[in-house]
């Protein structure tokens, strides 16, 4: 079966430095892939290349059978690739409900969306996503008063309102408390039933909890890929990444 996302021999240089070096990856629909590796391995750059934020020096990215390598960022987003960044982009003065409503449409003017959409489809979707993100009781609150964890969950909800087929997340549990991490793991386990996910993460406990497949990058290349058990048993991964993590 072809992957929902296929990365073929991707390379990217900044000036003369090659930071992504002949990297290939296939993500099968319905799986949660964790992308791990030491600092500077090229994980964020890979996400930027998938979403079209930057363009590769060579290689290609295929999504749902379409070559999206040359497409602009907004076209790739509309094709069904959503991304949650580490720094939340919620509108703090709007309520949780309003933030989710704004995210429902991919139109460029958020306030226009806020007044335009009053469809039953929106209400159903909003309820569904608020439940998934554990925010049902917070729908009427101003987003600015949410805790760090709740803000992250709201942002996940906002990306989901756009119904991505593939969702990318950058270090989603950074700065969270233990109980917030547990709740986030539960959200991801639910989420992966309907959405394909690529999650960049350093916390191997969390990776162990959520990943179907773990992809390890090192110096811009694929070092290893497999189940968490395969990865933890791989001496090359222990050498360049896990050993360093255990020592930290
Ligand atoms: N715009 C840029 N210009 C020059 N070099 C860059 C640029 N963006 C990234 N790099 C370099 O590319 C390499 C890969 O960076 P990247 O942020 O993708 O790594 P990462 O695996 O996400 O690291 P971390 O885990 O620390 O976030 C690093 O050496 C970084 O300094």
The CATH number of the domain holding residue 233 is: 3.40.50.300
For residue 14, which atom of ligand 1 is closest to its CA? 4
For residue 217, which atom of ligand 1 is closest to its CA? 21
The Å distance, Cα 39 to ligand 1 centre, comes to 8
Residues 6+ apart with CB under 8 A from 157: 100, 103, 129, 130, 132, 133, 135
Q: What is the pLDDT of residue 167?
A: 97
Give the mean pLDDT of the chain: 91
The Å distance, Cα 44 to ligand 1 centre, comes to 7
The Å distance, Cα 20 to ligand 1 centre, comes to 9
The Å distance, Cα 147 to ligand 1 centre, comes to 29
Q: How many domains does the chain have?
A: 1
Take atom 24 of ligand 1 and give the residue whose Cα is closest. Answer: 39
Q: Tell whether the model's pLDDT for residue 85 goes beyond 60.
A: yes
Take atom 6 of ligand 1 and give the residue whose Cα is closest. Answer: 14
Domain that holds residue 240: 5-247
Q: Contact at 8 Å (CB) between 63 and 166?
A: yes
Residues with CB under 6 A from ligand 1: 14, 19, 37, 39-45
Q: Tell whether the model's pLDDT for residue 206 goes beyond 60.
A: yes
**What would the pLDDT profile of 93-110 be if each residue is shown by its tens digit?**
999 999 999 888 654 445
**Cα dihedral 166→170→171→175 (10° resolution):** -120
What is the ipTM metric for this complex? Answer: 0.96
The Å distance, Cα 237 to ligand 1 centre, comes to 20
Q: Check: pTM over 0.95? Answer yes or no.
A: no
Q: Alpha-carbon distance 51 to 59, whole Å?
A: 14
**What would the pLDDT profile of 113-145 be if each residue is shown by its tens digit?**
555 555 667 888 899 999 999 999 999 999 999
**What would the pLDDT profile of 4-13 be if each residue is shown by its tens digit?**
999 999 999 9
The Å distance, Cα 41 to ligand 1 centre, comes to 7
**What would the pLDDT profile of 40-82 be if each residue is shown by its tens digit?**
999 999 999 999 999 999 999 999 999 999 999 999 999 999 9
For residue 47, which atom of ligand 1 is closest to its CA? 18
Identify the H or E element spanning 159.
helix 148-161
CA distances from 222 to 11, 32, 46, 245 (A): 12, 17, 11, 19
Counting residues of the chain whose pLDDT is more than 70, the rounded percentage is 90
């Amino acid at each position: 079966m072809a992957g929902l996302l296929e990365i073929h021999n991707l390379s990217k240089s900044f000036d003369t430095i090659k930071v992504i070096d002949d990297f290939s990856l296939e993500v099968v629909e319905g799986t949660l892939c964790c992308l791990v590796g030491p600092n500077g391995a090229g994980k964020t750059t890979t996400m930027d290349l998938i979403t079209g934020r930057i363009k590769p020096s060579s290689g290609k990215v295929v999504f749902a059978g379409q070559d999206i390598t040359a497409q602009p960022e907004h076209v790739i987003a509309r094709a069904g690739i959503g991304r949650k960044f580490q720094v939340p982009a919620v509108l703090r003065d709007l309520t949780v409900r309003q933030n989710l409503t704004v995210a429902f449409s991919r139109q460029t003017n958020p306030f226009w969306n806020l007044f335009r959409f009053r469809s039953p489809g929106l209400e159903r979707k909003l309820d569904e996503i608020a439940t998934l993100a554990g925010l049902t009781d917070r729908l009427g609150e101003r987003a600015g008063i949410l805790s760090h964890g709740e803000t992250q969950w709201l942002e996940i909800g906002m990306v989901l309102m756009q119904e991505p087929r593939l969702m990318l997340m950058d270090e989603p549990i950074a700065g969270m408390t233990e109980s917030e991490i547990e709740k986030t793991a539960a959200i991801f386990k639910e989420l992966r039933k309907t959405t394909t996910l690529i999650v960049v993460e350093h916390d191997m406990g969390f990776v162990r909890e959520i990943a179907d497949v773990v992809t390890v990058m090192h110096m811009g290349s694929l070092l290893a890929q497999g189940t968490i058990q395969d990865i933890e048993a791989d001496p090359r991964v222990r050498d360049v990444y896990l050993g360093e993590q255990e020592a930290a």
